[in-house]
Every structure is written in structure tokens, then in C-alpha cells.
Amino acid sequence: MSFIELADVHKTYGTGTSAVSALDGLSFTADQGEWIAIMGPSGSGKTTLLNLLGCLDQASTGVVHIAGSDTSKLSRSELTKFRSETVGFIFQQFHLVPHLTALENVMLAQYFHSMTDEKEAMQALQQVGMEERANHLPSQLSGGEQQRVAIARALVNDPKIILADEPTGNLDAENQRIVLGLLSDLHAKGRGIVMVTHDESVGRLADRRLNLEHGKIKETVVFSAEENEDFDEVLEHIWTRSEPTDHLHATEYTEVQWRRLVNVMTRIGLLKIENGETVFTPRGEERARIVIRRHRLSERLFVDILTIRDDHEIEESACKFEHILSPEVTDKMCALLGHPTECPHGSPIPPGPCCPGWDAWFDRLIYPCIMS
């Protein structure tokens, strides 16, 4: 059984002619530790869904199963216990108690869970970099700082899953970065996250996105074109590591971004971890070979035919070309350039089907990769 299982869930507010159907036959499952983004227009049922997952509300019909419990069968006291032990909430409006300090706000969550423990609460504040502000009131903290306190509060009882409703909705870019960094770290440590967001770039951090429309799941977006470009970029980074020449890279990733990308790419079978090192799977290596070929042929085109000399310009343009060239155009370009074997920096260009010696190369290197 999955960690979260929703089957044909309906949620209706009100009755008769004034009834509003907020969720209309929604089903999905999620594994423990998954990061799921819930997206969709205003009024599509995102908050309702999150409230059902956190047992702040109950479904009208259908099954909501979380961490082995059928939540519709829990009594009031069991629901309170479930909420404090299983889930941690983060809201757009932070919802800190105004007359309590940061530390007291965190301890309040402990109070509902079991017993207050100042040392533990302080450790939770440390995790979000707020220990110096422990004795400040919410009104003495910026929005970003308040949200970090709210994250500490969500973490203090060591919940299995974090439910976040537009957690960065009220934050500026810098604080958004900090909060998303914290969530990424928690996820990397195995914590499940279900996060409502309007923001496509925030949604892209998740393992999976569910798009809601009129209380139904419209589609699960797996990977956008932009994400696929990120995957290609990571493959290129790894490919060039084993080469003597230093190559420019169009995108440099932060540690958090890199870790996330490697996690996703490992999950979908492009990379694997071997002796603590990130390496290609055969499929990843094959994809890397094709991207590197497109990239380096583009570089040759810019240097040899278009006589561009600026390294940054060449790199930037090659990075655009590598995503848009079809296999046919790539081979035509290769033929036009006389099947070059080296990029302008002297690194090898992997051959393609149009190149001399391709059959032997294919049998030796590529066929085994495709078949594995």
C-alpha cells in the first residue's frame, strides 16, 4: 500500500442549490518521501485537498488513506493525534501566534504533540537558521524569517510528511530561495512534501506535479522541456569531467539544484551512484553522447562557417542549438562540416550515423547501451 492513497474523493461544501463541489472524484497515490506539487487555478480545490491530507477536514465520500490509517475512521481524539504525529503544516500566511516569541511558537506545536522541550525547539530553529531570533515576536521578524519559524514549527515533531500551502506566496525572491532550499534539504533527507503552488518554477522542484481543474486531476506533468534541458546540461557536465579540456558551461548549478537534478535523474534511470560517485547509466551515457555531439557540431558550425570567435557567444549559441536540432539536421550539419572529429577546443565529437566508421562504432559502443 502506498503512503498516501486517495480513491474517488468528493468534497462538497453546503447543500442543495448552494452546494459547491470542491473535489470531484479525485484519485492518486504517493510513496513515502515523494515531493508532490499541487498546481491549478484559484478555486480548483488545492487547499481543500491539502486540508483532507492533513485531516483538517474530511471527505464527503471516498477514501483518504495516509500512513496506514483510513482517516475517515479516526475519532476526534485520534485525528488530533494523527495530525500532530504525522503531518507538519506550512501556510502562506505563516499563522504564528502574535504574542508568542519564535521559540514559544515552536514549543506550542510540541505542546499539542507531547511535551514541550526547549532544547529541541531551539534545535528546530537552528535548522532553519533562526536561533539568534528565538526571543523575537513575529512582528519583529520579516516575512521570510516568519516563514522559517513556521517551518521549524512544522519540523519539531518530526512529521512523516510536510504539507505546505503556497509556502512562498508572500515572500520576495531571496526569501523564496531560502525557503525552497530548506524544503529541498528536508526532501533530500527523506521527508515527503505535498506543496500547493501557483508558480511553475517552484512546482518544477517537485518529483511530480498534479494539475487540478474543477476538483479533478487534469494531468500529471512529468517533465517540461525546460527540465529536459536541465537534464541535458547535467549530462554534459558529467561527460566533460572525464576530459582534459576545461569547457565553458552555459549553466552553473547551485549545490541544491544539482542535488535535486541528480536525484530525479537517478530515479528515472539516467544516472546512478557508484562508490559514492554520480555516473551514467548506459541510457544516460547514450543520451549524453547525442547531446555532446549536437553541441560540438554546433560549435564547429559557429567557428568554421560563421567565423564567430567569442568563446562565450559560441557556448551560449551551441547550448541553444543542442536542444533544437533534429537527428536529420544534425547529420546534415555533420556532413556539411566534413564529419569533424574534434570540437574547436580539441575534444572529440562522438560520431553519428552519417559518419565513416559508424557501423563499427555502433556495434561496439552504442548497441550494448540501447539493449541494456
Closest CB to ligand ADP among residues 22, 178: 22
**Site for Mg ion contains 211 (CB under 5 A):** no
The site that binds Mg ion (CB under 5 A) totals a number of residues, namely 2
- The CB-of-49 to ligand ADP minimum distance in angstroms stands at 7
Which residue from 38, 35, 40 is spatially nearest to 207, judged by alpha carbons? 35
44 is a contact residue toward Mg ion (CB under 5 A): no
CB-based contacts of 6: which residues, under 8 Å, 6+ apart?
26, 27, 28, 29, 52, 62, 63, 64, 65
> What does 45 bind: ligand ADP, Mg ion, none (CB cut-off 5 to 8 Å by kind)?
ligand ADP
Q: Which of 22, 35, 37, 47 binds Mg ion (CB under 5 A)?
A: 47
The DSSP symbol for 41 reads S
Look at strands 69-70 and 87-90 and give their pairing.
unpaired
Q: In whole angstroms, give the CA distance from residue 323 to residue 320.
A: 6
Which residue in the block uniquely carries the three cell numbers 488513506?
65
Stretch that binds Mg ion, among 15-23, 40-48, 75-83, 342-350 (CB under 5 A): 40-48
Residue 168 binding Mg ion, by CB under 5 A: no
Count other C-beta atoms under 10 Å from residue 34's C-beta: 19
Q: How many C-alpha atoms does 230 have within 13 Å on its Cβ side?
A: 19
We find the least distance from the C-beta atom of residue 190 to ligand ADP, in angstroms, to be 27
The distance of closest approach from Cβ of residue 50 to Mg ion in the complex, given in angstroms and rounded to an integer, is 8
Residue 372, binding choice from ligand ADP, Mg ion, none, Cβ under 5 to 8 Å by partner class: none
Within residues 56-75, the interface with Mg ion by CB under 5 A covers none
Cβ nearer to ligand ADP, comparing 56 with 79 = 56
48 binds, among ligand ADP, Mg ion, none (CB under 5 to 8 A by kind): ligand ADP
The nearer residue to ligand ADP, 44 or 110, going by C-beta atoms, is: 44
Grid coordinates representing 229 are: 534541458
Dihedral (CA of 287, 293, 299, 305) sign = negative
Q: Which residues of 153-190 are buried (b: 16+ CB within 10 A; e: fewer)?
A: bbbbbebbbbbbbbbbbbbeeebbebbbebbbebbeee
Cα dihedral value 215, 220, 224, 228, nearest 10: 160
Q: Min. distance of Cβ 219 from ligand ADP in angstroms? A: 16
Stretch that binds Mg ion, among 46-54, 184-192, 198-206, 330-338 (CB under 5 A): 46-54
| Residue 106 near residue 124 (C-beta atoms within 8 A) | yes
Q: Min. distance of Cβ 93 from ligand ADP in angstroms?
A: 13
138 binds, among Mg ion, ligand ADP, none (CB under 5 to 8 A by kind): none
* Closest CB to ligand ADP among residues 22, 238: 22
Instruction: In angstroms, give the least distance from the CB of 315 to ligand ADP.
Output: 42
Q: Work out how close the CB of 74 gets to ligand ADP at its nearest, in angstroms, rounded to a whole number.
A: 21
CB 48, min distance to Mg ion, A: 8
Select the binding partner of residue 22 from Mg ion, ligand ADP, none (C-beta < 5 to 8 A, by kind): ligand ADP
What DSSP state is assigned to residue 288?
H
Question: Could you tell me the CA-to-CA distances from 343 to 198, 302, 318, 347, 348 in Å, in that order?
Answer: 42, 11, 11, 5, 6
Contacts with ligand ADP by CB under 6 A lie at 13-14, 20, 22, 40, 42-48
Q: What are the distances in angstroms from CA 369 to CA 90, 239, 282, 285, 322?
A: 45, 16, 5, 8, 21
CB of 45 or CB of 167, closer to ligand ADP: 45
Residue 159 C-beta: closest distance to Mg ion, Å:
21
Residue 112 binding partner per list Mg ion, ligand ADP, none, with a CB distance cut-off of 5 to 8 Å that depends on partner kind: none
Span near Mg ion by CB under 5 A; candidates 43-51, 148-156, 349-357, 358-366: 43-51
| Cβ proximity to Mg ion, 91 vs 231, nearer residue | 91
**Ordered alpha helix ranges (H), 189-310:** 200-203, 225-241, 255-267, 282-300
Q: Are 90 and 183 in contact (CB under 8 A)?
A: no
Contacts with Mg ion by CB under 5 A lie at 46-47
